[in-house]
Structure 1
Amino acid sequence: MNGEEKVRMTVDIYGTQYKLVSRSSPSYIKRVVAVVNDQMHRIANGSPRLDLPKIAVLAAVNMADEWTRMQEQIDHSQEQKRQLDKALADMSAAGELLEQLQQELTEERERLSEVAAERDDLQARKEALEAREAELAKELEALTEHKQAIESEFSQTAERLDRQLALQAELESKLAAELERAREFEGRNAEQAREAERMTLLLLEGEQQREELEARLAEQRAEQERQRAELESRLAAELAAQERQRAEFEGKLSAEKDERERQRAELEELLTAELEAQERQRAEFESKLAAEQAEQERQRAELESRLAAKLEEHERERAEFESKLS
């Protein structure tokens, strides 16, 4: 109903008609009247000798007592509600902190996953370097075999040259013998002179062939030396590059391992500190909650004791009052 509208109604309270004016609804007025009637009838049934004013006073006292107790219970309930709201707020803050810690833990796990992926990548690179090293070893073996083949060919060429030189020496010896014979028979036969000239040409041709063969042999030796030097230089460069890459890889792997260990130690330290803080907060919260519950129990016991004392005092006063009225 509108707060400005007044309700006028006649009610019956303990057999007497009363006209009431109120801004409350008729149903509410009827409930209030029913409570008053109930209180007065209960007092009258308990003390039949009391007259109407005394019954009304005692009913008012009882209703005031009930209202006071209800108000105290309401205040106590509101205080409990405030404490419960505070406890819920503390639990909510603890939950937010736990959620934050879980998020940080998830981030750290993701970082560890990334580190593990990098470690796998480095392991793959290491395996690739080892495979490359094996390939270079095979190439080195092939180059060594090629070098041995060249040396064998060089040895065979040297043997052929030695045989040719021996043959040339034999030819020179024969030529010298023929020249000697030609000088002996120089005046004897022109044909022998021509033969001697032919032998001289053969000797000159053999000398020229020997020089060409020696030049070719020198060129082959120089080429073999150049190839061997180039091969050794290439092998040395490859080995140096492999050593440098392996050293860099081992250094990086060691640094990343140290970094992972440091991050893991920091994470464990952080988690330990957070868990200890959570345990400490939980213990403080439980201790505080237990203290609040104990305080509530103490207040409730004190309130019950006070209510019991008040009720006892009220009963005693009512008994005295009824005794006086009697």
Structure 2
Amino acid sequence: MNQSKDRRRSGNPATRAAAKRQMSSGAQPRITWRNWVGGARLRTLPLAVAPVAVGSGIAYMVQDFSLTLTLLAHAVSIFLQIGVNYANDYSDGIRGTDEFRVGPARLTGSGLVNPKRVLALALTFFALAAIAGLIAVVLSERWWFLALGAIAIVAAWFYTGGKRPYGYAGLGELVVFVFFGLVATVGTVWLQTDIDLQEPWVAGAGVGFFAVAVLVVNNLRDIPTDRLAGKRTLAVRMGDRASRILYVVCVLLPFAVPALYSIAQPGMILVWFVLLLAIPASIITLTAKTPRELILVLQLTSFAALAYGVLLGIAFAF
């Protein structure tokens, strides 16, 4: 009983929230391996794979493709994505944002996992990304990539971390577009070739819009709880209707890329098949009434982003 009172009076909002849930449910929730895997938010990983797939396809097009450097670029992108997901879990949890969240319990927000363990896991994946990046830099001798990698890790942390996280100020979409669109795509190309091309920038923008679309629909679902938590995401600032329209724009704009390069690259016809995912996702977003429908849109958009990145890379390569 005393322990329960201590938890309710804890300075950690996540611990207080867990104590309240325990009192209301009468049962002690348990954290399992599924929660730890869930904390990695695997459905976001296609956003890490897509830009590298496009960049490697462009590198293959100019005959400067390196399988080793491509795999290292994938490792950097994926480890960074997982790291930022655990960092968000930690930062949102200790900030108390997840106290208002509806859905499966987060690791930190549940109050049942020591926040330091979640933070250590986030830092571990950031370190793995840094190691993979360092190996790529040594092999490619592009030493200035060290500064770019450091900036990427800092940006990943301050999305929800620090005193003034930019994700709480409506800037998350912009940073996601830059790093998981332009930087990841162009960086993959520059890692392998010295040839200056416009294709990585244009294709990177296409991939970036898909990444923005995923974030927009995720924040659209969370508008009510984010408002309660004081989290001023772009969706909160724009409102429900404008956010739905923004999602549709972001998920359809990427198809300007295959339209632009269809004459020079006949394989671009394959990219249009991604509309089979993008159009239903857009319709559901415009008409959705429940969070469950928006979760379906998240899944469809992640698959669409992956298919878009892979097929666009293939179109450029062959």
TM class by smaller structure: under 0.3
Greater share of helix? 1
Larger radius of gyration: 1
Greater share of strand? 1
TM-score normalised by length of structure 1: 0.18
TM-score normalised by length of structure 2: 0.18
Higher relative contact order (CA 8 A, sep 6+): 2
